[in-house]
Amino acid sequence: MSILKITGGRRLDGSLRVQGAKNSTLPLLAASVLTEGLSVFRNCPRLTDVAATVRILRHVGCRVYEEGDALYVDASGPISPEVPDALMRQMRSSVIFLGALLSRCGEASLCLPGGCELGPRPVDLHLLALRTLGAEVTEAGGRLCCRAARLKGGRIDLPSPSVGATENAMLAAVLAEGSTVITGAAREPELLDLQDYLRSCGALVTGAGSGVIRICGAEKLRGGEKRILPDRIAAATWLAACAAAGGRVRLYDACPQHMAPVLHALRRMGCAVSTGENLIVLERRGDLLSPGPIVTRPHPGFPTDAQPPLMAASLKAAGTTVMIETVFESRYRHVPALRSMGADISAAGKTAVIRGVKTLHGGDVTASDLRGGAALAIAALSAEGETVLRGMEHVDRGYEDMAEALTALGGEVSLRKE
């Protein structure tokens, strides 16, 4: 188990490359099993969730190898439709293998996935999409079995824009017979990455990012390639850290156009934010102000994954900040740990109210989930004294090397193995 030690109170000053997006890498890797060839993904982040996905790919029969920041997946051999429970439980997004394996093998068998504890995370919309395309779905002993000799195109109307269900629907439809229209689709930028990759494999897909995706099914797909887009949530985390601690940070290989609501909130807090091509610079010299109410929404709204980092940045902001979480039911699990560091927060149901305090103090705190862990690290940077952050296994799911990144930004941070 590793522990992060953070000495707070230093202004940040540094430059950092933004890692490739976790939420793009995982569905792209799963999509590669649809092809009967070799795919290459560049700019892959080194994350434990990526390693878990690679283990699933190898288990089902893909050959996977690494070269620098590239991952090569050769899916030309026979593919098994079954994923063992232990591999599935390592991360939530493993459910994306449902559509991919069903499409490729005509069947898929896997248990319900693991992942962050953010409240109930049902898969009804994923199953709705697959059933609409003709899959027969049965559930027994916690395992889901999907079957269809060949899926048939159709109209999938998603009642809410689930990212994972949209991805599963796309993966199922690209090898289905005939055309599919997905309405109510999620519009997150990661879906455009998936569309680009599928097109490079020969799939006919349009509309990703618009809410209506149209797909014309193909008989077969060849291997393809994709450079993974920058991780907008990792970028939001580093910017929130600088807002909280003060100073100036420069993020390169970033994608500011995917981050409008986050950059807007940081500007309202009194930070100077400038953007260029693949570049974001944030500077905070004076006092922090409350960003005003923050309501999380599906893209292009304020992203739920950036809510905990922004909450941490608001702890010492003048005034009262209200946050309303509308995407997940239980996304305030980091609040008790922030309170133990001197934060004044009350949270009930979807709403959290943060009253700005003058000082925070270091503490011995444990991450309860990935972005909640990031929030604790940010609070620690702006606190007086030393913080010991445990539960780093959650943080490592989504940040390449948080200690190294925060050190590059000028933080006093060290990683200790216990």
Give the residue numbers marked as catalytic. Answer: 116
Nearest to 176 by CA among 137, 204, 201: 204
Chain residues 338-357 in contact with ligand UD1, contact rule CB under 6 A: none
Q: For 246, left (φ over 0), alpha (ψ -120 to 50), or beta?
A: left
> Taking CB positions, which residue lies at the least distance from ligand UD1?
164
Q: Given the complex with ligand UD1, which of 32 and 304 has the nearer CB atom?
A: 304
Considering only 35, 53, 93, 94, the residue that binds ligand UD1 (CB under 6 A) is 93
| Site for ligand UD1 contains 26 (CB under 6 A) | yes
Q: Is the preceding peptide bond at 300 cis, omega within 30 degrees of 0?
A: yes
Alpha carbons 260 and 48: distance in angstroms, whole number: 28
Please report, for residues 31, 111, 205, 238, the alpha-carbon distance to residue 145 in angstroms, rounded to integers and kept in the order given: 19, 9, 27, 41
Please report, for residues 54, 69, 114, 125, 281, the alpha-carbon distance to residue 240 in angstroms, rounded to integers and kept in the order given: 31, 26, 28, 33, 12
| Site for ligand UD1 contains 327 (CB under 6 A) | yes
Q: Given the complex with ligand UD1, which of 191 and 381 has the nearer CB atom?
A: 191
Nearest to 303 by CA among 114, 392, 311: 311
Q: Given the complex with ligand UD1, which of 124 and 364 has the nearer CB atom?
A: 124
| Site for ligand UD1 contains 187 (CB under 6 A) | no
Alpha carbons 333 and 374: distance in angstroms, whole number: 12
CB of 124 to ligand UD1, least distance (A): 5
Q: Which stretch binds ligand UD1 (CB under 6 A): 123-131, 212-220, 284-292, 333-341?
A: 123-131
Alpha carbons 54 and 71: distance in angstroms, whole number: 9
Specify the length of the chain in residues. 418
Q: Which stretch binds ligand UD1 (CB under 6 A): 57-65, 157-165, 256-264, 402-410?
A: 157-165
Chain residues 369-398 in contact with ligand UD1, contact rule CB under 6 A: none
Q: Which stretch binds ligand UD1 (CB under 6 A): 137-145, 163-171, 234-242, 380-388?
A: 163-171
Considering only 126, 316, 334, 394, the residue that binds ligand UD1 (CB under 6 A) is 126
Q: Give the strands of the sheet with 12-17, arranged side by side.
A: 12-17, 247-252, 279-284, 272-276
CB of 324 to ligand UD1, least distance (A): 14
Say what the alpha-carbon torsion angle 352, 357, 363, 369 is, to the nearest 10 degrees: 20
CB of 71 to ligand UD1, least distance (A): 16
| Site for ligand UD1 contains 56 (CB under 6 A) | no
* The residue to which tokens 């490359």 are assigned: 17
The site string for ligand UD1 over 259-298 (x = CB under 6 A, - otherwise) reads: ----------------------------------------
List residues near ligand UD1 by CB under 6 A: 23, 26, 92-93, 121-126, 160, 162-165, 186, 304-305, 327-328
